[in-house]
Amino acid sequence: MLTVIILFLCLAILLYFLLGGADFGAGIIELFTSEANRQRTRSTSYQAIGPVWEANHMWLVIAVVILFVGFPNIYSVMCTYLHIPILAMLMGIIARGTAFTFRHYDAIKGYRTQTLYNSIFIYSSFLTPLFLGIIAGSALSRRIDTEATNFADAYIFCWLNGFSIAVGLFTVALCGFLAAIYLIGEADNDFDIKRFFKKAKMLNIVAFFCGGLVFLAAETSNIRMAKWIFGNPVSLIAVILASLSLVLLWVSINRGKRYIIRVFAAFQVSMILLSVGYTHYPYFITEKNGNHLSLLTDHASASTVNVLGWALVVGSLFILPALGYLFYSFRGHTDHD
Partner 1 sequence: MDDFLAARSQMALSLGFHIIYSCIGMVMPVFMAIAHYQYIKTGNVVYKNITQAWSKGVAIFFATGAVSGTMLSFELGLLWPKFMLHAGPIFGMPFSLEGVAFFIEAIALGFFLYGWNKFNKWFHWFTGVLVGVSGILSGILVVSANSWMNSPAGFNYVNGKYTNIDPMKAMFNGAWFSEALHMTIAAFAATGFAVAGIHALMIYHKQNISFHTRAFKIAIVFGAVAAILQPLSGDLSAKHAAKNQPAKLAAMEAYFETQEYAPLVIGGIPDTATKKVNYGIEIPGLLSFLVHDDFKTAVKGLDQIPVNEQPPVAITHYAFQIMVGLGMIMLAIGILYLICIWKKNNWLFKPWFLKLFIFATPLGFIALEAGWTVTEVGRQPWIIQDIMRTSEAVTPMPGIQYSFYLFTFIYFTLSVAVIVLLQRQIKMVPVVYDVK
| Interacting residues with partner 1 (CB under 8 A) | 50-52, 54-55, 57-58, 60-62, 64-66, 68-70, 72-73, 75-80, 83, 86-87, 90-91, 93-94, 97-98, 100-102, 105-108, 151, 154-155, 300-301, 303-304, 307-308, 311-312, 314-315, 318-319, 322-323, 326, 329-330, 334-337
Of 280, 231, 242, which is closest to residue 264 (Cα–Cα)?
Answer: 242
CB of 91 to partner 1, least distance (A): 7
CB of 139 to partner 1, least distance (A): 14
Nearer to partner 1, 190 or 335 (CB): 335
CB of 319 to partner 1, least distance (A): 5
CB of 324 to partner 1, least distance (A): 10
Q: Count CA atoms closer than 13 A to 283's CA, side-chain side.
A: 16
Cα 41 to Cα 182: distance, rounded to the nearest angstrom: 12
CB of 96 to partner 1, least distance (A): 8
Cα 209 to Cα 217: distance, rounded to the nearest angstrom: 12
Nearer to partner 1, 256 or 315 (CB): 315
Nearer to partner 1, 230 or 325 (CB): 325
Cα 306 to Cα 271: distance, rounded to the nearest angstrom: 29
Q: What DSSP state is assigned to residue 19?
A: I
* 144 phi/psi in degrees, rounded to 5: -80, 125
CB of 20 to partner 1, least distance (A): 11
Nearer to partner 1, 105 or 111 (CB): 105
Cα 132 to Cα 33: distance, rounded to the nearest angstrom: 23
CA angle (144 as vertex; 225, 76 as ends), nearest 5: 125
Q: Count CA atoms closer than 13 A to 122's CA, side-chain side.
A: 17
Nearer to partner 1, 34 or 150 (CB): 150
Nearer to partner 1, 82 or 173 (CB): 82
One DSSP character per residue, 26-87 reads HHHHHHTS-HHHHHHHHHHHHHHHTTTHHHHHHHHHHHHHHHHHH-HHHHHHHHHHTHHHHH
Of 170, 186, 135, 216, which is closest to residue 28 (Cα–Cα)?
Answer: 170
CB of 334 to partner 1, least distance (A): 6
CB of 135 to partner 1, least distance (A): 11
CB 268 within 8 A of CB 246: yes
Nearer to partner 1, 83 or 224 (CB): 83
Residues sharing a CB contact under 8 Å with residue 7, sequence separation 6 or more, in sequence order = none
Q: Count CA atoms closer than 13 A to 112's CA, side-chain side.
A: 0
Of 226, 222, 209, 135, which is closest to residue 173 (Cα–Cα)?
Answer: 209
Nearer to partner 1, 226 or 302 (CB): 302
Cα 131 to Cα 167: distance, rounded to the nearest angstrom: 9
CB of 172 to partner 1, least distance (A): 20
Nearer to partner 1, 63 or 203 (CB): 63
